[in-house]
Amino acid sequence: MQINGTLIDDTFAEAFPMKATRLVITAHTPAWARNAAQSLTGFATSVIDCGCEAGIERELGRGETPDGRPGISVLMFAISSKELAKQVMRRVGQCVLTCPTTAVYSGIDPAASRAPLSDNAPLGGALRFFGDGWQISKMIGGKRYWRVPVMDGEFVCEESTVTVKAVGGGNLLFLARDLDAALAGAEAAVAAMHKLPNVITPFPGGVVRSGSKIGSKYAGATASTNDAFCPTLVGLSKKSELSAEVACVLEIVIDGLTDADVGAAMTAGIAAAAGIGGAAGMLRVSAGNYGGKLGPYHFHLRELAAGIDGSRA
C-alpha cells in the first residue's frame, strides 16, 4: 500500500493496558497554568524509568474549567493503579502545589467516560496534610474540595481524581531518505495527533530517536537500541529492516484513553507523514511490535490507512 509515494508497511503496532487519569490545572493566567503543567509532565517519557508517561493534552478556556480560570489538561499513564496514584501525588505536590496561583481538579467525568473506570487516585485527600491542620474542606455538587493555605492565598484541590483503564504503546516509525524529511514527517504527524482528544505523545516534542527493543546483551538492562531500525547498522545487524536509501528513522509513541483514541491518532499521523510524500524523502511508515507477545492491542497500519485519501494497493 502506498500514499503519495510513501510505502505503508504490512505490519502492526502492539500496545498494552495502562491506567490513566486527566488532571485539569488552572491558574490566574494561562502562562502559570502552563508552567505547572510543563513541570508536572517533565521526566515522564517512558514507564521504563520515569514511573509514568505524561503530557499536555490541550489548553482550556475559562468556560471549560471548574473555576472559570485559564487551564491546561494533562494526561498521566502508568502500569498500575498504585504507581499512578504515587506519581499523581508526587508530581502534583511538587509541581502544582508549589506553582503560584494554581488549582487542580479531576478531569474525567465518570458518567461520560468511554474508557472503563478504575480506582480513583488521591489528590487533595493526600496533599491536604501540607496545610498542617489549617486546611479546610468544602462539598460542592457532591464533590469534596480542599483549601490549603499557602503564601499567595489558597491552593484548591479536588479530593481525588478519576482514573480509567487505558492503552499505552501505540507507535509509528517514519523511515526517511534524510534527517530533514524524517523530522518533517514526524513533526507533521505530532501536530495532527495533538488536534485529537484523549491522547498524548509523551516524548520530547512527541518524537523518539532512540527507539528500543526489549532486553539487551548486558545483564540488568531491560531495554536497548532497536538495531533493526538503526541506519548505521545496515549490513552489520542481521535484524536490520532498512534498505540502503534509508538514512534516518524517527518514532512516535502514542498513549490514549481507549484503543479507538490510539487508532485515530495513528491514522492521523500516517496521513500527515505521508502528506510529505515519497518524492520529498518520506519513504516508509512502519511500526514496532514483539510478535503479539507484549500486549493485546494490535493496530494494523494498512487497516488504519485504508480510509486515507490517496491510499492505494
What are the backbone angles phi and psi of residue 270, rounded to the nearest 5°? -60, -45
pLDDT for 35-75, tens place per residue?
999 999 999 999 989 999 999 999 999 999 999 999 999 99
% pLDDT > 70, the chain: 100
Q: Are residues 138 and 204 in the same domain?
A: no
Instruction: Provide the pLDDT for residue 21.
Output: 98
| DSSP reduced 3-state for 129 | helix
Domain boundary at 110, 144, 164, which? 164
- CB under 8 Å to 178, separation ≥6 — which residues? 247, 248, 281
pLDDT at 311 over 90: no
pLDDT at 313 over 80: no
> Do 38 and 56 meet the contact criterion of CB atoms below 8 Å apart?
yes
Q: Are residues 128 and 43 in the same domain?
A: yes
Q: Are residues 24 and 160 in the same domain?
A: yes
Comparing 309 with 136, the larger pLDDT belongs to 136
Residue length, the chain? 313
Helix axes 259-276, 179-193, angle to 10 degrees: 140
Can you tell me the mean pLDDT for 25-35? 98
Nearest-angstrom CA–CA distance, 71 and 247? 41
Q: Are residues 92 and 211 in the same domain?
A: no
Instruction: Provide the pLDDT for residue 72.
Output: 98
**Where do we find the cell 512516535?**
252
Instruction: Provide the pLDDT for residue 131.
Output: 98
Instruction: Provide the pLDDT for residue 1.
Output: 95
pTM of structure: 0.95
C-alpha cell of residue 274: 505521508
**Where do we find the cell 479507538?**
260
pLDDT for 177-221, tens place per residue?
999 999 999 999 999 999 999 999 999 999 999 999 888 999 988
Q: Helix H segments across the chain?
A: 30-40, 81-95, 124-127, 179-193, 259-276, 301-305
Domain that holds residue 285: 2-14+167-312
